Structure 1
Amino acid sequence: MASATTPDDSDEPVTVLTFDLESDRYCVRADAVASVFGVSDDESIATADDPWNAGSVSVGGERVRVVDLPRAFTSSVRTTARVDEPKLLVLRVTDADDAYYGWLVDDVDVTRTIRPSDLEPTRMGRHMPHVKGRVEIDGEDAIWLDERAIHG
């Protein structure tokens, strides 16, 4: 098993889904994402005390535990600018109660294919084990997140 801060053992191409948090681009393995939904009312999520456990929503009859990534990844002293219509990435990872995890993000792009060997370390990688590294996608840097490291 590869660690969260080094490239995968294989150099087989990997399809990732890119998404934005404020002005930063991130990605996650596309096969880790079950679905993507628009969120019309995020008030209860945006005001939750803990952005890592910002409440839950029901999607297709399934409970989804929401992580408010824009707030979780920013300093507590910095105000996060909210977008009008955030998106919810519903992951295939579930918690001990079989609730899915969902990441509230600002915008979702499309899938891209990358090679794990193209990953470069980030300055934050040592302090954030859920960051696999940085990769260039379409001429822009993207931070590759490891959903299993985030949710155990």
Structure 2
Amino acid sequence: MGSASNPDDTETNDSVTVLTFDLEGRRYCVRAESVESVLGVANDDPLADAADPWDAGTVTLAGERVRVVDLPRAFGSSLRTTARVDEPKLLVFAVTDDEGRYYGWLVDDVDVTRSVRPASLEPLRVETTHVKGRLEIGGEEVVWLDERTIHG
């Protein structure tokens, strides 16, 4: 993977595996090694009605608590709850918060893992702390999210 001197891997030419996923018709990715599992969500009504999409609630999966970030609402309109996809997915990350809860991102759909070169990242036109940059994967523009800043 990356060099020890650069834990972020954004400046190296080494290949990194990312997991791609969709939010409201846009393609995003995150480092695949940071994702513990991907789960289907049968009923997201309690999460969709949460007052704060950045802390949309906690679900228990296999005895573990997962703090959910509702990314479609956090990145889109906070009022968007009726136009959700039928079966959203939950990306569960391998890190926990101060209360021992895992982090989970509610997303529209999950695609596959891809190998990319972080050195090919281009900056966004808008300054944001949640994004590492953008790159092209398979002819599509993909926004690489920074899970560390999203988790706070």
* Fold match by TM threshold 0.5: yes
- Other structure's SS at 2:73 match: helix
| The 10-residue stretch of structure 1 (22-31 or 78-87) with the greater mean CA deviation from structure 2 | 78-87
Alpha-carbon distance in structure 1 between the residues aligned to 2:64 and 2:80:
33
What RMSD, in angstroms, separates the aligned Cα atoms of the two structures? 1.9
Decide whether the 8 Å contact of 1:48 with 1:54 is kept in 2: yes
Decide whether the 8 Å contact of 2:39 with 2:90 is kept in 1: yes
Decide whether the 8 Å contact of 2:48 with 2:81 is kept in 1: no
TM-score, length-normalised on structure 1? 0.91
1:81 CA displacement: 2.1
Code of the residue aligned with 1:19 in structure 2: it is: F
Among candidates 60, 75, 78, match of residue 62 of structure 2: 60
5 Å matches for 1:29-68?
Answer: 29-68=31-70
Q: Deviations over 1:70-98 (max 9, x none)?
A: 00001346667200000000011211011
Is 2:109 the partner of 1:107? Answer: yes
Alpha-carbon distance in structure 1 between the residues aligned to 2:16 and 2:120:
11
Is 2:130 the partner of 1:130? Answer: yes
Decide whether the 8 Å contact of 2:20 with 2:114 is kept in 1: yes
Decide whether the 8 Å contact of 1:14 with 1:116 is kept in 2: yes
Structure 1: 5+ residue runs without aligned partners? none
Q: Which has the higher contact order (CA 8 A, sep 6+)?
A: 1
Q: Deviations over 1:51-85 (max 9, x none)?
A: 00000101111000000000000134666720000
Which residue number in structure 1 is paired with residue 92 of structure 2?
90
Decide whether the 8 Å contact of 1:93 with 1:148 is kept in 2: no
Code of the residue aligned with 2:14 in structure 1: it is: E
Among candidates 111, 115, 118, match of residue 116 of structure 1: 118
Alpha-carbon distance in structure 2 between the residues aligned to 1:83 and 1:111:
21
5 Å matches for 1:16-31?
Answer: 16-31=18-33
1:26 CA displacement: 0.2
Code of the residue aligned with 1:11 in structure 2: it is: N
Equivalenced residues, count: 148
TM-score, length-normalised on structure 2? 0.91
Alpha-carbon distance in structure 2 between the residues aligned to 1:119 and 1:80:
34
Alpha-carbon distance in structure 2 between the residues aligned to 1:14 and 1:143:
15
Q: Percent of counterpart pairs with the same letter?
A: 65
Decide whether the 8 Å contact of 1:62 with 1:99 is kept in 2: yes
Alpha-carbon distance in structure 1 between the residues aligned to 2:138 and 2:82:
26
